[in-house]
Chains A and B, each alone.
Chain A
Amino acid sequence: MSAFEPGQELPELTVTPDRYLTVRYAGASGDFNPIHIDEEFAKQVGLPGRILHGLWTMAQVARAQTEAAGGPHTLQRLSVGFRGMGVLEQEIVVTSKVRAVDEDGTVHVDTEATQAGTTIVRRGDAELRP
């Protein structure tokens, strides 16, 4: 991998969750909260419809880091805040920017995910060992 430098932007990751994504992710993750898979239930509790699992969206932020840094072994730490809600069938963009690089090569990255101009993952803070 090429060296990382403060201020450098990592490649953007874009992904559009299809209509049945939350059903597949519920099965894959074991999180069957009906707000993610049942349109009527979601509306009954005041949501616009089924919403994305926050941890799926965090997984997209994680994937942006591992793809940029050269594999799953590079990701040492990731913390995020969730805000608002992600929805199906609208593109999500993950952006990442190197904040600092330590003497030992640890790369600190600021990252977030937005959808239709709304930040749905904020204050993402990743540590990479490329």
Chain B
Amino acid sequence: MSDAVGKAYPPTLYAVGREKIKEYARATGETDPLHLDHEAARAAGYADLVAPPMFAVVYCGPAMGPAYFDPDLQIDFARLVHGGQEFKWGPLVLAGDEITTVVSVTSIDERAGNGFFTFESVSTNHDGHTVSVGTWTNVVRA
């Protein structure tokens, strides 16, 4: 199983839509017009509606699935807990962006019978800029 450290999954491409940003912004309680009104975003100097930073979970979603469900990792979902999360952000993501995400396994450990699985996601926009790097820490409880 620890052989999987370093394993990378196929890149996924996510096209960022205006209405999806609004849906996410409303579900997370955002009130900043940059996330809800594309004209306000343009007036503020952005090309289009601005995604909240945590929208990273949306464009990373399709890339994370194959990692969590990788038979090589044998993750027991009944005991899986999301232990921690980190994002580092680059340029803001806007409606109309196309985001490519690559996920890899960065560590697999066992401590006190608990399994620790850490994934890294690296997301890049169509201009080649890294828009976010995520560290996804999961615990499979003993």
Contact = CB atoms under 8 A, between A and B. Distances in A.
Interface stretch (B4-12, B79-87, B96-104, B115-123): B79-87
A118 interface: no
Contacts of B27: 21, 24-25, 27-29, 56
A56 B135 contact: no
Contact of B52 (A24, A27, A72, A82): A72
Interface in A9-37: 15, 21, 24-25, 27-31
Contacts of A30: 58, 61-62
B83 to A, nearest CB: 6
Interface residues of B, number: 32
Mostly, the A contact residues are: helix
Given A15-B29, A60-B29, A71-B34, A78 B86 contact: yes
B52 A59 contact: yes
A77 B61 contact: no
A58 interface: yes
B47 interface: no
A28 to B, nearest CB: 4
B129 interface: no
Nearest to B59: A30
Given A25-B27, A72-B50, A82 B87 contact: no
Nearest to B93: A72
B52 A66 contact: yes
A24 B26 contact: yes
A45 B28 contact: no
Contacts of B53: 62, 66, 72, 75, 78
B142 to A, nearest CB: 15
Interface of B: 20, 23-24, 26-30, 32, 34-35, 50-54, 57-58, 61-62, 78, 81-89, 92, 135
Interface of A: 15, 21, 24-25, 27-31, 45, 54-56, 58-60, 62-63, 66-67, 71-73, 75-82, 123
9 contacts: A29-B58, A62-B54, A63-B29, A66-B52, A71-B32, A76-B88, A76-B89, A78-B53, A78-B87
